[in-house]
Structure 1
Amino acid sequence: MISCILLFYLAHCGVEEARAAFVSDSRGFRLQPADPDQLYARREHLANARAAERIWADRLARDPKDFASAWKLARARYWLGGHATDQDRKALYEAGIAAGRAAVAVSPNKPEGHFWLAANMGALAESFGMRQGLKYRGEIKDELETVLTIDPAFQQGSADRALGRWYNKVPGLFGGSNRKSEEHLRKALTYNPNSTATLYFLAETLVAMNRRDEARATLQKLLDVPVDPQWAPEDREFKSKAERLLQTLRR
C-alpha cells in the first residue's frame, strides 16, 4: 500500500520528484525519505534538485529554527531558479530570498544564510532588470560584507567572488567599479585559484576594462583547470560559457 507520505509528494510535485525523494530497492518503494544532500549532489538532473528542495522545505516548515534546512533550501532554490523558465524563475528566487532570511534569523553569526540570501537577491536583480537591481543593490553588498566579517574564506572565497561580480554589474553612479571588481576577484582566487566561477567573472571584468588579452588568457586557464567534484555541475556550465566568450574575443 502506498503510504500517505508518498501520496503527499505525488500531490505536491511530479512523479520524477516523488521517486527521487524516496529510497527504493528491487521490491519497490521503502517509503524512506532519501538523503537531500545526496540528491542535491546529483542536481544536474533537476528532478533530484527539486526533490531535495521539497525535503528541506518540509523540514523547515516543521521546524522554523532548522538552520541547515533553511540555508540549503535557499541554495537549492538558487540552483533551480537558474535552470527555470522565465515564468518560474522569479518565484524561485523570491522563495530563495525568504529561505535565506529564515537562515539569517536563526543564526546571524554564521555565513551560509547571508551568502545564499545575497546570491538569490543578486540572481533576481540580474534576471529582472534595473528596478530589481536597485531594490536589492545595497542589501546584497551588506550581506556579502557580513560574510567577509564572519569568515572571509567561506566556501573558497565566495563572498569576495560575489562582491567582484557586484562591483562589475552595478553602474558606477551607484557604486560599481571594475577596479574594485578585479581586486575582489583576485582575492577570491587566493582561496581557490581554479574556481571556474571566479575566473569567468574576472574575464568579464577584464573585458569591461578593455584588457582582452588578459581576459583570453583567463578564459583559457578556466578551460584547462580540472572539474571540482563538489561543484561539477557549475564547473561544466562555466566551461561552456567560457568557450562561447572566448570565441567572441577571438573575432
Structure 2
Amino acid sequence: MHRIQTVRRICFLTIFLFTITLFADEYNEIIKEADKIFFSYHEDLSRLIKSVEIYKKAIEKNPKDPYPMIMISRALLTYADLVPEDEKERERIYEEGMKWAERAIKVDEKYAMGHFWFFANLARIQQLKGTLYSLATLSTLKKHIKRAYELKPDDAMILDGLGAFYCELPSFLGGDLKKSEEILRRAIEADPNYTLSYYDLAVNLYKQKRDEEALKTAEMALSITNPTYYADWFTWDRIKALEIIEKIKKK
C-alpha cells in the first residue's frame, strides 16, 4: 500500500512539473512574439498596437508578471508620441499608459520600470499641456523617478529620465543643469549605445550655452552603429538629434 502511494505521488509530481513547464514555455513564447513585434515597430507603426494586444494575452496567462504591463505602457507612450495628431487623443493614450504602469507597480512595488514608465507617461502629459508643473504633479513625478532610480541606480534609461527631468525643470522647482549633466553622463557610461542620452545631454549643453559640445554630442547620437533600441533611435532619437544640430548651426 505504501509503495502504491509513493508511485502515485511520483506520478502526480511528474504531471505537475510537466504542466508548469508547459505553461512557462507557452508564456515565454507569447512574450517573445510580443517583444519581436514591438522592437521592430520602426518598420510599421501599427506594430505598436499589435504588440499591446499580444502583451495583454500574456497578462491573461500570468497576471503576476509586471513585465508585459510596463511594455504596454511603453508601447502606448511610443504610439502617442508618433501617431496621433490630436492632442486630446495623445493625452488619453498617455493616461492609459500610466494606468498600465500603475498596475505593474501594484503587482510589484519594487519593479523599477513600473515607476519609470508611470513617470514617463505623466511627464509626457505635462509636456503636452505646456504649463507650469502643479505641486501635486511635480511631487508625483519626483516620487516615481526617484523610486525607479533607488531600485535600479545603474540603468541607463532611468538615469536618462532623471537627468532629462532635472534639465527640463526650471531652477525654482528644483531644476539643476549641472546635476542633470552629471546624471546624463552616467547614463552614457552605463550604456554607450543608449542613444537618447546623447540627445538629452546635447539639450543640456545647449541650455548651458556650450554649443560646440552640444553639437558634437548630438552628432554622436547619429554615429552610434548599434543602438540599444534601434526602433527608438530610428523614429525618435536621431530625428531629435538632427533637430538640435540644425538649431545650433542656424545660430
The TM-score normalised by the length of structure 1 is: 0.78
Q: Is the 8 A contact 2:59 2:69 kept in 1?
A: yes
2:246 corresponding residue in structure 1: 247
CA spacing shift, 1:219–1:151, aligned 2, 3 Å: same
Tell me which residue corresponds to 1:121. 122
Equivalent of residue 37 in structure 1, options 19, 35, 38: 35
Shift in Å, 1:246 = 1.1
* 1:1-251 map, 5 Å: 35-44=33-42, 45-57=44-56, 59-60=58-59, 64-83=63-82, 84-85=84-85, 86-130=87-131, 135-154=136-155, 157-228=156-227, 230-236=228-234, 237-251=236-250
Partner of 2:15: none
- Secondary structure (helix, strand or coil) at the match of 1:55 reads helix
Give unmatched runs, 5+ long, in structure 2.
1-29
Deviations 1:16-54 (A, max 9, x none): xxxxxxxxxxxxxxxx99922222122221211111112
Judging changes above 3 Å, is the alpha-carbon distance between structure 1 residues 137 and 173 closer, same or farther for their aligned structure 2 residues?
Answer: same
- Distance in 2 separating the partners of 1:241 and 1:198: 11
1: CA distance between counterparts of 2:38 and 2:129?
26
What secondary structure is seen at the aligned counterpart in 2 of 1:210? coil
Contact 1:124-1:132 at 8 Å conserved across structures: no
Distance 1:244 1:129 in 2: 20
User: TM-score under structure 2 normalisation?
Assistant: 0.78
CA-CA distance at 1:164 after TM superposition? 0.9
Deviations 1:59-103 (A, max 9, x none): 547865442221111111111111122232101100010111100
- 4+ residue runs over 6 A deviation: none
The superposition leaves residues 124-168 of structure 1 with CA deviations (integer Å, 9 ceiling, x where unpaired) of: 1112222566542222222122122212123xx211111111111
Deviation at 1:219, TM superposition (A): 1.4
Change (3 A) 1:173 1:217: same
C-alpha distance in 2 between matches for 1:93 and 1:49: 14
1:247 CA displacement: 2.0
* Bigger shift: residues 63-72 or 175-184: 63-72
Deviation at 1:57, TM superposition (A): 3.7
User: Partner letter of residue 93 of structure 2?
Assistant: L
- Return the alpha-carbon distance in structure 1 between the equivalents of residues 184 and 163 of structure 2: 5
Q: Which has the higher contact order (CA 8 A, sep 6+)?
A: 2
CA distance in 1, matches of 2:152, 2:127: 26
Q: Which has the larger radius of gyration?
A: 2
Whole-Å separation in 1 of the counterparts to 2:229 and 2:193: 11
Change (3 A) 1:198 1:50: same
Provide the alpha-carbon RMSD of the alignment.
2.3
In 2, Cα distance between equivalents of 1:33 and 1:159:
23
Change (3 A) 1:173 1:42: same
Offset at 1:223?
1.8
CA contact (8 A) 1:64 1:102 kept: no
1:56 positional shift: 2.7
Matched AA of 2:107:
V
Structure 1 residue ranges without an equivalent (≥5): 1-31
Q: Hey, which of these two has a bigger chunk of helix by percent?
A: 2
